[in-house]
Structure 1
Amino acid sequence: MQIKDFRIGGNLKELTEHRTVVLPVACYETTINQNIHGHIPLHWHDELQFVRVVQGEAEFQINEEKLVVRQGEGVFINSGCLHMAEDRNASGCVYICLNVSPDFVVSRELYAAYVAPYIQATNLPYLYIDPNQAWGVNILDALVNIHQWIQTQPPYFELNMTMQLAFIWKNLILNGFQLQYDQVEALKNERMKQMLSWIDNHYAEKIALNDIARAGQLSRSECCRYFKRMLHTTPLNYVTDYRLQKSAVLLQRADSSITEVAYQVGFNSTSYFIEKFRKAMKMTPLAYRKSKMDARS
């Protein structure tokens, strides 16, 4: 089952519950361009995430770094890291996504030694999973197995899953990373989350650069440097893009006019909203609404 409408809370933490009936695990197939936003929006979650691309290619952004992942390749995204994904070259990218609680990959007695150091490390936001390496093949094949077991639920599949999760984690840490914890880097990530959280709570209001900087306890110039480094944009351009994302959701409902949608997401001019929407989406808000309505009929 694909999650097409990511529910994201006020601090951009994903609210989707990642679990089977009894296990803190979720594994599903995602077609990026079928998401309600047309891409996987910026978010984070406590769960570890493993991805295997099964069709096309995607560009992932994890914290401030970008990575292209092609068919047959994968990526591990660490707990708490901001990330998003976009289809690349209109490839119709489809990937298998496994989310699992860090508490569940090994037994409680082994957590402190084999899991905690890895999720606390600031130099391991993600790891490219190489299909040309034995450890990479092991992880990628295990993702397919877990996805199939959750779909078909054969006898004892949950026991098989727990063994495969430990196997995945063992192959990941056998790489012998030199783990580092940089308190300054950890603080930067936390301040970025605070600013994004503030924007999420106030995007419908009038927003100035000072407001965003204050939310991250930064100067205006430092705030701009954070956004340029981590999101490759300016704070106010991010606000505009975020408002457009929110408008795309509202436009799929028939109960608000284009002007009402514009004001609901923080634009104070309908013409300016239409101009920005057309530039970002390559169509007007009205044409976008009609395309979504036609797709449902």
Structure 2
Amino acid sequence: MNNVTYEKVNLNQNLPAFIRYVGKENFDTAKYSYIPPHWHRSIEITFVTEGKVAGVINGKSINVKSGEFIFVNSGDVHEIEKYPDQPSGAVILILSYEFIKKLYPNIDNIRLDIMKSNFKKDRLREIFLEMKEFCLHPKELDYIKVNSYIYEILYILLSNCIISKERDYTKNYFKYREKQKEILTYISENYKEELTLERISKHFYMSNEYFSRKFREWFGITYKAYLSNFRLHKAYEDIINSEVNIQDIAIFHGFSNVKSFINLFKKKYKMTPLKYRQYLKESKNDIKMGKKEQQ
């Protein structure tokens, strides 16, 4: 498929992977987090260390609690959401596709199932907790140890979790995966415009009814709700990282008016965008003051 964009994974320095911890020990998940549907060639493993998170993988809803994993195969369309006002933490590991391909050239012809009964989850939990410490308290030579963990993780997966695509519950998904990626790419490139159901259905040569039905089947959400959430996700970055006027942010990201944007934002974050921006500033100042007092 040509001209299809996907999430580019920026690797950690000296590692063939992206590793990040988000939780109460840092400010990344202070209030609410939502990663809209996307895909990449890399393999993604998330270990939930506290609380719970929800998500959708290939149209199948998941709810994962502390001590459990979220596993995303190469090319899978997935989204992750943290519940508002509920503490949670997770270690996210994204293994470079190029790194895996070099070590295991047959990676494109297999899929991995983390739920297999003989899967060595206890050892993986130990590794991910070690990587949490690496993220929170990095030391100069830690990357050497983490590299060894990455190799061990890949060995465990390839030794215990391979399944054939023919037996995979997502067999029918592969038939439509390219179309799903085209739709998500089209939305990401045009979400600022008046992207009505009629317009997008016509673009993909579908009736409104058929497009709506397939979209919900594939992504576990209505098209209207997805588009609103995607716009909100994009606008959120400007709320927390800029001083741009709230109305300008709303219009720039495709909302028909500032009132609809504020109402959706308040429904998600339990306060208006302006109050939320102020809340984050005050929280960051409190953290800085706390660190100074500890010094």
Which category describes the TM-score, using the shorter chain as reference length?
Answer: 0.7 to 0.9
Gaps of 5+ in 1: 1-9
CA distance in 2, matches of 1:168, 1:104: 16
- Return the alpha-carbon distance in structure 1 between the equivalents of residues 143 and 270 of structure 2: 49
Match status 1:15 vs 2:3:
no
1:98 and 2:83 correspond: no
* Structure 1 stretch displaced more, 266-275 or 85-94: 85-94
CA distance in 2, matches of 1:162, 1:279: 40
Give the C-alpha shift of residue 154 in structure 1. Answer: 4.8
Report the counterpart of residue 16 of structure 2 in structure 1.
Answer: 24
Q: Separation in 2 of the partners of 1:158 and 1:90? A: 32
Distance 1:63 1:211, change over 3 A: same
The higher relative CO (CA closer than 8 Å, separation ≥ 6) is in 2
CA distance in 2, matches of 1:214, 1:148: 50
C-alpha displacement of 1:200: 1.3
- The CA distance in 2 between the partners of 1:212 and 1:37, in whole Å, is 33
Distance 1:146 1:215, change over 3 A: farther
Residues 206-260 of structure 1: per-residue CA shift (max 9 Å, x gap): 1211222244443322211122113333212221222222222222245422221
User: Is 1:276 matched up with 2:264?
Assistant: yes
How far 1:274 sits from its partner (Å)?
A: 2.3
Runs in 1 of length 4+ with deviation above 6 angstroms? none
Work out whether 1:165 is the aligned partner of 2:153: yes
1:26 Cα deviation from its structure 2 partner: 2.3
Give 3-state SS (helix, strand or coil) of 2:178's partner: helix
Distance 1:170 1:91, change over 3 A: same
Q: Is 1:60 aligned with 2:62?
A: no
The C-alpha deviation readout for 1:140-172, integer Å capped at 9, x for no partner, is 334345565684435953662454134222343
In 1, the alpha carbon distance for the partners of 2:97 and 2:196 equals 38
- The amino acid of 1:263's aligned partner reads I
Contact persistence 2:192–2:254 (CA under 8 A): yes
Give secondary structure in 2 for the equivalent of 1:167.
Answer: helix
Residues 140/199 of structure 1: CA separation in 2 closer, same or farther (3 Å cut):
same
SS at match of 1:266: coil
Q: CA deviation at 1:90?
A: 4.5
Deviations 1:68-124 (Å, cap 9, x if unpaired)? Answer: 22222213210111222223584421111211124434754x422xx23224xxxx6
Identity %: 20
Q: Which moved more, 1:154-163 or 1:198-207?
A: 154-163
- Secondary structure of 2:267 counterpart: helix
Which letter does structure 2 place at the counterpart of 1:230? W
Contact 1:129–1:136 under 8 Å retained in 2? no
Q: Is the CA contact (8 Å cut-off) linking 2:32 and 2:84 kept in structure 1?
A: no
In 1, are the aligned partners of 2:165 and 2:171 still within 8 Å (CA)? Answer: no
Quick one: structure 1 residues 251 and 36, their matched pair in 2 at CA, closer, same or farther if it must change by over 3 Å? farther
Checking the alignment, whether the CA contact within 8 Å between 2:17 and 2:95 is kept in structure 1 is yes
Relative distance call for 1:259 and 1:18 in structure 2 (3 A) is same
RMSD in angstroms over aligned alpha carbons?
3.2
In structure 1, what is the Cα distance between the partners aligned to 2:242 and 2:63? Answer: 37
Return closer, same or farther for 1:81/1:238 CA change in 2, 3 Å cut-off.
Answer: same
CA distance in 1, matches of 2:143, 2:274: 50
5 Å matches for 1:224-243? Answer: 224-243=212-231
C-alpha distance in structure 2 between counterparts of 1:105 and 1:172, whole Å = 16
